[in-house]
């Protein structure tokens, strides 16, 4: 065998090993309940804003405390706390993707990704408000 | 009954639609003609080549026709077209009109196609005997790209998405029952505010030129395998692969510059799937370029080079699939909108996978290779290792970026009985994305940097190792010294970062040394050295700002208590209008806000103060803006103070909802009072002093027949100030009206709502603006030494340009002799 072949083989074996071991970094999509089972470990959770509950953001008291309730895919509703500013138009979000962990009864999000219906496409036609032509 | 539509401009759309079909048909024609030409003997080959050429020119003209029609429609705001309506609006400054063109998938396919045409035309004139096979490959790609714009149905399956559809054809709304519907559609949906940035007018064309350019080495590989000519393709392909590396590299870095400036990715590189999608083919292209150098000089590594150039192009197609099929969905917010073309995109990719595999496998045994072993102290051996590592780096990035794709496979596996228990949940990207990629890519960067420092000092075939090590002593010493200084000065302690810093500095020093000592400063042959110095600077410029960036908008004055764990970042700070807040070394004041078009600008003044003496050392003002976009919410655009050694960002993260507070203000409160009565306002108490006939007010022009009464009111603030106000009640032509009076100092507006003569009372209405409601929440970040990154980017591009010019001249020389 040639040196290049040996070197290639070694590198490929190492990188396969590395790539496989790196899959331990991969997260999974969870619900509040399953995230609760591994409290303190970070996961991704998809859900919807629970609109009937209050959204708490009082920048005058603390610009880095933002809390709301989210309903996950299984229908469970939990309080979510985010240490940062409230994303503008949060109320209009259609779907929320959270990264974070359960701490007690609360979910502490480190990242919030909002999906707005209008983010890139808005299929609502805006029509000039004119009374019907006579 | 047919509706007669009025006001529509149908001609440009018809020209565009026709051009799409012409472009598609002629791409196929060119492909067939060139294919026949490439397979025939001399005589008939020439005539088929002429047919191919004509067809390709016709195709090119049609592409220009599509581009022109689409541009015309957007430029003239013809909102009857869905594309113009969706991607542009009237208020958009002209400089961003181009960005509308490529905001949508169709426009960006068109841009890509356009560059293929340009490159194709250059190749027709310059590639000599390679024209037929190379253009056949380009033409078939053009047919695939063209099909993305067709927008026709075959049975129930829609092929492509046509950018010239009318709004009324794509949407079902009652308004379209009216023939004059266009009168009611005043404005388009507008361009995504994130893309309203000058980088977005130059980054996509550059990136797509880079994308397009990768087809040239690929086409030459196919042509070389097809014609079984294993040497003639090298010279041209070398130039083209340098060109592609340069343009794609610059395109990627421009994307980084945009991300850095708009801060939408939180820095210049975030390992977002969309960014990775263009980085991966670039890395493999670089590997291929180095493979080709080995082959050119030693006759080795031909199979590797073929494989890498093929892989580059396939990864371009794969990234097209990733970013356009909607598969990235939950993992990236930056991908294109799904147009339901994933099947077509998949077919596009699989076609070329099979095509290139067929060519490669069929003649694998015939591809020349050298059986004799290379020396360990040879340049080719280490170039080979470098190429391999670049490829493996690309594969690791792809592996993680492809998580959504793996999930599609997992769905299939789950159907197999017995396996379903093991694979229950879908995979999600790592929680700490940057940490995940950096964890492995930093080590790869270290190896690549070390190789790029040393390999130039080795000769092809065999080298004198003593000389080799001697040459590296000085650069190594310089690098060690610099590393120690930087590590201590900037407190960079994690071992892998210290190593990376050393490796990059070593690469910079060694390549600089090579340029000065070995090449005796002759820049025209030193392209590689310059590019490698640039690469080293990019690594340093990525490492230092990334590691040392600090959020400085942390309010230390107010103690919030330990309501959170120690990881609480508190990166946002509240600034009330006019109230200075101490932030790090700066006294920061939110001075004012102003509106310009759709943008709200916030005037934020920074004063760097000496904490002991309180002296102001330096003052500057930043104007971060926020577009309160009715469709997308707050789109913050940071403003940056640039220094030679650092950048200070200011970025508005939240503002009070002005609309809601204005609505609240619209509600007048009221009190019924008699003369001498007191009523209470938020910041003062008010006394109705008297009712005055013939009152005076700046908003009131008396008329002879008026019956007017002024309510003379005195307002007493708590700190002892007294203000006067005289709102007026007016009866003119038997109609009662009221003239409001505003006391600006107290942000209160007063009016007389009714007069009750029988009770000798009046109803006073007052509304009060909430002064406390004028604040911004902002975040400020310092990025030190980011300029090293930009300097490195420029140098790498410049180095590649030097190499390109040199290779091009070499080719000309061969061409002429």
For B63-104, the pLDDT digits (tens) are: 999 999 999 999 999 988 989 988 888 888 888 888 889 888
> For chains A and B, what is the number of CB pairs under 8 angstroms?
158
Question: What residues in B contact A93, CB-CB < 8 Å?
Answer: none
- For residues B90 and B187, the answer to whether their CB atoms sit within 8 Å is yes
Chain B: residue whose CA lies nearest to A91: B633
Q: How far apart are CA B528 and CA B240, in angstroms?
A: 15
Considering only residues 521 to 540 of chain B, which have any Cβ-Cβ distance to chain A shorter than 8 Å?
Answer: none
pLDDT of A6 over the 80 cut: yes
Please answer yes or no on whether A89 and B571 come within 8 Å at the CB atom: no
Question: What residues in A contact B186, CB-CB < 8 Å?
Answer: 126, 128
Mean pLDDT for the stretch of residues B463-479? 93
Express each pLDDT in B672-690 by its tens digit: 888 888 888 877 888 988 8
Q: Which one of B384, B435, B564 has the shortest CB-CB distance to A83?
A: B564
Considering only residues 300 to 339 of chain B, which have any Cβ-Cβ distance to chain A shorter than 8 Å?
Answer: 330, 333, 337
Note whether B360 contacts A: Cβ–Cβ < 8 A.
no
What is the torsional sign of CA A129, A132, B4, B6?
Answer: negative
Q: How far is A36 from chain B (nearest CA, A)?
A: 16
Enter the ipTM: 0.84
Question: What residues in B contact A113, CB-CB < 8 Å?
Answer: 330, 333
Percent of chain A with pLDDT over 90: 13
pLDDT of B139 over the 90 cut: yes
Q: How far apart are CA B36 and CA B723, in angstroms?
A: 93
Across chain B, mean pLDDT equals: 87
Note whether B373 contacts A: Cβ–Cβ < 8 A.
yes
Express each pLDDT in B517-553 by its tens digit: 999 989 999 999 999 999 999 999 999 998 988 888 8
pLDDT of residue B209: 97
Q: How far apart are CA B87 and CA B96, in angstroms?
A: 11
Q: How far is A5 from chain B (nearest CA, A)?
A: 10
Q: Which one of B167, B431, B655 has the shortest CB-CB distance to A27?
A: B431
pLDDT of B560 over the 60 cut: no
- For residues B261 and B624, the answer to whether their CB atoms sit within 8 Å is no
pLDDT of residue B629: 63
Structure confidence at residue A130 as a pLDDT band (50, 70, 90): very low
Say how many C-beta atoms besides its own lie within 10 A of residue B485's C-beta. 10
pLDDT of residue A58: 82
Q: Which one of B333, B392, B653 has the shortest CB-CB distance to A85?
A: B653
Give the best-scoring range by mean pLDDT among A41-45, B420-424, B479-483, B516-520: B479-483
Q: How far apart are CA A68 and CA A55, in angstroms?
A: 5
pLDDT of B505 over the 90 cut: yes
Note whether A2 contacts B: Cβ–Cβ < 8 A.
yes
Q: How far is B336 from chain A (nearest CA, A)?
A: 8
Mean pLDDT for the stretch of residues B560-564? 43
In this structure, are strands A77-82 and A106-115 parallel, antiparallel, or unpaired? Answer: parallel
Please answer yes or no on whether B634 and A110 come within 8 Å at the CB atom: no
* The CATH number of domain A28-128 is 2.40.50.140: yes
Note whether A64 contacts B: Cβ–Cβ < 8 A.
yes
- For residues B367 and B230, the answer to whether their CB atoms sit within 8 Å is yes
Note whether B432 contacts A: Cβ–Cβ < 8 A.
yes
Express each pLDDT in B169-213 by its tens digit: 887 777 787 888 887 777 887 777 777 788 888 999 999 999 999
Structure confidence at residue B233 as a pLDDT band (50, 70, 90): very high
Express each pLDDT in B329-384 by its tens digit: 766 666 676 777 888 999 999 999 999 999 999 989 999 988 888 888 999 999 99
Chain A: residue whose CA lies nearest to B337: A120
Q: How far is B16 from chain A (nearest CA, A)?
A: 23
Question: What residues in B contact A119, CB-CB < 8 Å?
Answer: 333, 632
Q: How far apart are CA B280 and CA B245, in angstroms?
A: 12
**Token pair in block for residue B106:** 């169709």
HEC letters along A65-91: CEEEEEEECCCCEEEEEECCCCCCCHH
- Backbone region of residue B779 per phi and psi (left: phi > 0; alpha: psi in -120 to 50; beta: other values): beta
Lowest mean pLDDT segment, chosen from A23-32, A65-74, B22-31, B280-289: A23-32
Give the best-scoring range by mean pLDDT among A59-68, B569-578, B726-735, B783-792: B783-792
Chain B: residue whose CA lies nearest to A111: B431
Q: How far apart are CA B289 and CA B239, in angstroms?
A: 10
Q: How far apart are CA B181 and CA B175, in angstroms?
A: 6
- B599 or B54, which is more confident? B54
What is the torsional sign of CA B189, B192, B197, B200?
Answer: negative
Considering only residues 161 to 190 of chain B, which have any Cβ-Cβ distance to chain A shorter than 8 Å?
Answer: 167, 171, 173, 175, 178, 180, 183-187, 189
Express each pLDDT in B245-281 by its tens digit: 999 999 999 999 988 887 666 688 889 888 999 999 9
CA angle (B165, B166, B167) in 5-degree steps: 120
The phi, psi pair for B62, rounded to 5°, reads -65, -40
Helix (H) or strand (E) holding B436: helix B433-454
Lowest mean pLDDT segment, chosen from A61-65, B289-293, B489-493: A61-65
- For residues B141 and B215, the answer to whether their CB atoms sit within 8 Å is yes
Dihedral over alpha carbons B376, B380, B386, B391 (to 10 degrees): -120
pLDDT of B294 over the 90 cut: yes
pLDDT of A120 over the 50 cut: no
Considering only residues 542 to 561 of chain B, which have any Cβ-Cβ distance to chain A shorter than 8 Å?
Answer: 560
Chain B: residue whose CA lies nearest to A90: B633
- B667 or B375, which is more confident? B375
Express each pLDDT in B783-796 by its tens digit: 999 999 999 999 99
Please answer yes or no on whether B185 and A43 come within 8 Å at the CB atom: no
H-type helices in A23-130, by residue range? 32-37
Mean pLDDT for the stretch of residues B460-489? 94
Note whether A94 contacts B: Cβ–Cβ < 8 A.
no
Place of tokens 């993992």: B331
Which one of B304, B632, B772 would you mutate to disrupt binding with A, by most A Cβ within 10 Å of its Cβ?
B632
**Token pair in block for residue B624:** 């971060």
Considering only residues 51 to 110 of chain B, which have any Cβ-Cβ distance to chain A shorter than 8 Å?
Answer: 86
pLDDT of B121 over the 90 cut: yes
pLDDT of residue A129: 38
pLDDT of residue B340: 76
Note whether B425 contacts A: Cβ–Cβ < 8 A.
yes
Helix, strand, coil percentages (3-state) for chain B, rounded to 5, are 55, 20, 25
pLDDT of B241 over the 50 cut: yes
Q: How far apart are CA B639 and CA B604, in angstroms?
A: 10
Q: How far is B333 from chain A (nearest CA, A)?
A: 8
Give the best-scoring range by mean pLDDT among B223-232, B366-375, B645-654: B223-232
Please answer yes or no on whether B431 and A44 come within 8 Å at the CB atom: yes
Q: How far is A77 from chain B (nearest CA, A)?
A: 20
Note whether B429 contacts A: Cβ–Cβ < 8 A.
yes
Structure confidence at residue B632 as a pLDDT band (50, 70, 90): low
Note whether A53 contacts B: Cβ–Cβ < 8 A.
no
Q: How far is A52 from chain B (nearest CA, A)?
A: 19
Give long-range contacts, CB 8 A cutoff, 24+ apart: B627-631. Answer: B627/B193, B627/B598, B627/B599, B627/B600, B628/A88, B628/B598, B628/B600, B628/B655, B628/B658, B629/B190, B629/B193, B629/B598, B631/A118, B631/A122, B631/B189, B631/B190
Question: What residues in A contact B777, CB-CB < 8 Å?
Answer: 59, 63, 85
Q: Which residues of B530-554 are buried (b: 16+ CB within 10 A; e: fewer)?
A: bbbbbbbbbbbbbbbbbbbbebbbb
Q: Which one of A4, A63, A127 has the shortest CB-CB distance to B572?
A: A63
pLDDT of B453 over the 50 cut: yes
Express each pLDDT in B399-425 by its tens digit: 999 998 998 888 888 777 776 666 667
Express each pLDDT in B104-115 by its tens digit: 889 999 999 999
Q: How far is A15 from chain B (nearest CA, A)?
A: 7
Structure confidence at residue B649 as a pLDDT band (50, 70, 90): confident
pLDDT of residue B578: 81
Q: Which one of A44, A86, A113 has the shortest CB-CB distance to B333?
A: A113
Question: What residues in A contact B570, CB-CB < 8 Å?
Answer: 64, 83
Structure confidence at residue B805 as a pLDDT band (50, 70, 90): very high
Note whether A121 contacts B: Cβ–Cβ < 8 A.
yes
Chain A: residue whose CA lies nearest to B392: A15
């Amino acid at each position: 065998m040639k040196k290049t072949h040996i070197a290639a083989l070694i590198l490929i074996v190492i990188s396969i090993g590395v790539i496989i071991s790196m899959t331990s970094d991969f997260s999974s999509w969870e619900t509040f309940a399953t995230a609760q089972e591994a409290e303190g470990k970070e996961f991704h959770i998809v859900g919807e804003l629970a609109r009937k509950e209050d959204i708490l953001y009082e920048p005058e008291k603390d610009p880095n405390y933002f809390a709301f309730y989210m309903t996950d895919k299984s229908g469970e509703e939990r309080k979510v706390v985010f240490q940062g500013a409230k994303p503008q138009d949060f109320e209009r979000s259609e779907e929320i993707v959270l990264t974070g962990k359960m701490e007690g009864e609360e979910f502490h999000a480190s990242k919030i990704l909002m999906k707005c219906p209008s983010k890139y496409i808005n299929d609502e036609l805006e029509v000039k408000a004119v009374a019907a032509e006579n | 009954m047919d509706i007669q539509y009025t006001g529509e401009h149908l001609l440009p759309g018809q020209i565009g639609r026709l051009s799409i079909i012409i472009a598609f048909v002629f791409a196929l024609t060119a492909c067939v003609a060139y294919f026949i030409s490439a397979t025939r003997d001399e005589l008939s080959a020439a005539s088929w080549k002429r047919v191919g050429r004509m067809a390709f020119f016709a195709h090119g003209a049609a592409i220009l026709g599509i581009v022109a029609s689409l541009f015309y429609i957007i430029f003239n705001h013809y909102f009857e077209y869905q594309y113009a309506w969706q991607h542009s609006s009237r208020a958009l400054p002209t400089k961003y009109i181009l960005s509308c063109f490529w905001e949508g998938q169709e426009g960006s396919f068109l841009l890509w196609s356009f560059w293929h045409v340009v490159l194709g035309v250059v190749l027709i004139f310059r590639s000599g005997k390679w024209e037929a096979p190379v253009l056949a490959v380009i033409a078939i790609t053009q047919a695939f790209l063209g099909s993305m714009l067709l927008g026709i149905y075959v049975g129930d399956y829609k092929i492509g998405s046509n950018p010239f559809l009318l709004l009324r054809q794509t949407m079902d709304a009652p308004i379209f029952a009216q023939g004059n519907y266009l009168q009611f559609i005043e404005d388009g949906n507008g361009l995504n505010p994130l893309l309203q940035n000058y980088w977005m007018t130059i980054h996509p064309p550059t990136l797509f030129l880079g994308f397009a350019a990768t087809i040239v080495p690929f086409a030459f590989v196919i042509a070389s395998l097809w014609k079984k000519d294993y040497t003639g393709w090298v010279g041209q392909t070398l130039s083209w692969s340098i060109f592609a590396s340069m343009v794609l590299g610059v395109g990627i870095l421009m994307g980084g510059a945009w991300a850095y400036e708009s801060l939408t990715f939180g820095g210049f590189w975030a390992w977002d799937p969309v960014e990775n999608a263009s980085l991966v083919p670039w890395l493999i292209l670089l590997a291929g370029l180095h493979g080709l150098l080995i082959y050119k000089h030693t006759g080795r590594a031909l199979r590797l080079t073929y494989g890498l150039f093929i892989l580059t192009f396939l990864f371009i197609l794969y990234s097209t699939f990733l970013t356009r099929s909607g598969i990235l969905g939950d993992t990236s917010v930056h991908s294109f909108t799904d147009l339901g073309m994933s099947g077509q995109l998949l077919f596009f990719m699989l076609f070329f996978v099979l095509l290139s595999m067929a060519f490669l496998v069929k003649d694998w045994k015939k591809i020349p290779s050298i059986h004799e072993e290379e020396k360990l102290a040879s340049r080719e051996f280490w170039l080979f290792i470098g190429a391999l590592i670049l490829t493996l780096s690309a594969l690791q990035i792809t592996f993680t970026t492809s998580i959504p794709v793996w999930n599609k496979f997992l769905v299939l596996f789950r159907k197999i009985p017995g396996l379903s228990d093991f694979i229950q949940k879908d995979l999600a990207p790592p929680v700490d994305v940057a940490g995940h990629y950096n964890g492995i890519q930093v080590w790869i960067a270290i190896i690549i940097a070390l190789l790029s420092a040393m390999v130039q000092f080795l000769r092809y075939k065999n080298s004198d190792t003593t000389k080799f090590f001697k040459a590296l002593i000085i650069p190594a010493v310089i690098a060690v010294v610099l590393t120690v200084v930087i590590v201590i000065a900037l407190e960079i302690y994690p071992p892998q970062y210290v190593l990376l810093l050393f490796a990059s500095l070593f690469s910079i020093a060694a390549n600089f040394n090579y340029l000065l000592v070995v090449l005796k400063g002759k820049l025209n042959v030193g392209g590689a050295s310059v590019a490698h110095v640039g690469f080293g600077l990019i690594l340093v410029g990525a490492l230092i700002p990334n590691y040392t960036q600090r959020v400085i908008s942390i309010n230390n004055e107010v103690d919030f208590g330990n309501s959170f764990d120690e990881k609480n970042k508190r990166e946002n700070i509240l600034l009330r209008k006019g109230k200075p807040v101490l932030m790090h070394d700066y006294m920061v004041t939110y001075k004012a806000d102003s509106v310009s078009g759709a943008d709200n600008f916030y005037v934020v003044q920074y004063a760097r103060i000496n904490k002991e003496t309180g002296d102001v050392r330096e003052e500057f003002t930043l104007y971060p803006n926020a577009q309160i976009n009715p469709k997308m919410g707050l789109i913050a655009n940071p403003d940056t103070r640039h220094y030679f050694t650092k950048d200070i960002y200011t970025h508005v993260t939240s503002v009070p909802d002005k609309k809601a507070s204005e609505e609240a203000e619209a509600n007048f409160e009221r009190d019924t009072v008699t003369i001498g009565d007191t009523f209470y306002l938020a910041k003062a108490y008010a006394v109705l002093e008297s009712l005055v006939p013939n009152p005076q007010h700046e908003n009131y022009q008396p008329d002879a027949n008026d019956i007017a009464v002024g309510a003379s009111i005195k307002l007493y603030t708590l700190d002892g100030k007294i203000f006067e106000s005289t709102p007026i009640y007016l009866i003119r032509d038997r109609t009662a009206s009221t003239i409001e009076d505003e006391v600006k100092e107290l942000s209160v507006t007063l009016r007389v709502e009714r007069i009750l003569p029988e009770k000798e009372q009046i109803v006073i209405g007052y509304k009060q603006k909430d002064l406390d409601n004028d604040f911004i929440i902002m975040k400020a970040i310092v990025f030190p030494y980011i300029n090293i990154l930009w300097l490195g980017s420029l140098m790498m591009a410049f180095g590649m340009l030097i190499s390109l010019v040199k290779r091009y001249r070499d080719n000309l020389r061969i061409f002429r002799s």
